[in-house]
Amino acid sequence: MKNMIAKNWYFAAMLVLASIPSPGRAQGFEGMWNFDKSQSKDIGAFFESGEMRYRMQITNEGNDNLVIEDLTTTEAGWKRSKLNVNLKGAETASEYPRGDLAIFSFEAVAIGPDQTLKTKATDVTRSSFDLTEYFTVLVSQGTYNVVLRSHYALSADGKTLTVTQTRNSRKYDEPAVYVFHRAE
C-alpha cells in the first residue's frame, strides 16, 4: 500500500511537473508583433519598397506548441499563413496556402500550390529557438526543395523579436534579419 501511495505520488508529481512549462523552453513569444522595416536587413522586395505591411501573431497552444501566423497586406490584398511549431523538437506539419505569390527577399519564387511544410525546432532556450522548415518552391524551371533556417530571439525586455534567416539556396554571408516590436 505504501508502495502504491509512493508510486501514485510519483506519477502525480510527474504530471504536475509536466504541466509546468520548462524554464529552459522559449517563453514570452506569444502576442502580436509589428514588423519594423527600418531595423530589418536584406528583407523582401515589397517590404523594402513599403508596399507590404507585415505582422506576426504567435499563439501558445500549450504543451510547447506554438502557432506562428504571418499576416501580410499588400496593395493587392492580404494573406495569412500559419506555421505549427513544437518546442520540444517534434517535427510538425503545416498547411501553407500561399497561392502563387512570390516569397523570399527578392520575390523570386513562390511556394507551390497548397502544400505541407515540415518544421522542426531545435536549440530551444528561454528566449530563443531555432527553426528549420522544409518546403518546395516554384521556380521558372520547375521546383526546388528549400531548407529555411530561422533563429527566433527575444530581447531581454521581451519587447523585440528578431528573426534571422538563412536558406540552402542562397550563398550569401549576410542573413535576412526581420525585426518585430511587440504590439501594445
Partner 1 sequence: MKSIELRFGSIVLFFLLLAVVLLPVRKGALAKESQKTIHCWAMSVEGNWQITGDLPREALIISLQGLVNRTGPRLYVLVGQHYDYLDNDSILAYYHERHHVDYTMISSIRDALTKFRKFVKGYIVYDQKIRDSIVLSFTAAGIMDGVVVASEQIPMMDSLGFKMLADYRGKFQGMDTTQIYQWAYDHFWNKCSHKELIYLGGAEGTMIQPAIADLGVANGDFFYDLSTDPRAGTQYKLVSMLYSKMKPFSFLFGWHSYMKDTEHSYVTLASHYALRVEGLNTLPNMSFHRWIKLPPGYKFHAHHSDLSHLKLEKKVYVAFIQSDGLGIGAWLRPGRGQIPYAWEVNMYWYHYAPAILEYYYSQATPNDFFIGTLGGPSYMYPKAIPEKYRPTAFKMADALIKDLDINMFEIFDASDSLTRDLPKHIVDEYFKYMPHAIGFVNGYGPAHTFAVKDGRPFLSFDYYLPPTRSVKEADADLEELATLNPKRPYFLCFHVREYTDVQGVMNIMKPLGKEFKVVPIDEFLKLAGMDPTFKTQYQFTK
Q: Decide whether 24 or 99 has the Cβ nearer to partner 1.
A: 99
Q: Is 38 in the site for partner 1 (CB under 8 A)?
A: no
- CA torsion, points 25, 148, 76, 36, in degrees to nearest 10? 50
Listed ranges 23-31, 44-52, 87-95, 115-123: which one lies at the site for partner 1 (CB under 8 A): 44-52
- If the CB atoms of residues 51 and 91 are measured against partner 1, the closer one turns out to be 51
**DSSP string of 5-30, one letter each residue:** HHHHHHHHHHHHHHHSPPTTS--S--
Q: Which is nearer to partner 1, 18 or 76 (CB)?
A: 76
37 DSSP assignment: G
Task: Determine, following the binding rule CB under 8 A, whether residue 23 of this chain makes contact with partner 1.
Answer: no
Minimum distance from CB of 72 to partner 1 (Å)? 11
Q: Which is nearer to partner 1, 61 or 95 (CB)?
A: 95
Contacts of 43 (CB under 8 A, 6+ apart): 37, 105, 176, 177, 178
Provide, rounded to whole angstroms, the least separation between the CB of residue 39 and partner 1. Answer: 14
Q: Which residues of 47-58 are buried (b: 16+ CB within 10 A; e: fewer)?
A: beeeebebbbbb
Q: How many helices (H) and strands (E) in the chain?
A: 2, 12
Choose the binding region for partner 1 from 1-9, 63-71, 76-84, 154-162 (rule: CB under 8 A): 76-84
Binding string, residues 96-135; x marks residues near partner 1 by CB under 8 A = ---xxxx--xxxxxx-xx----------------------
Q: In 3-state terms, what secondary structure has residue 46? A: helix
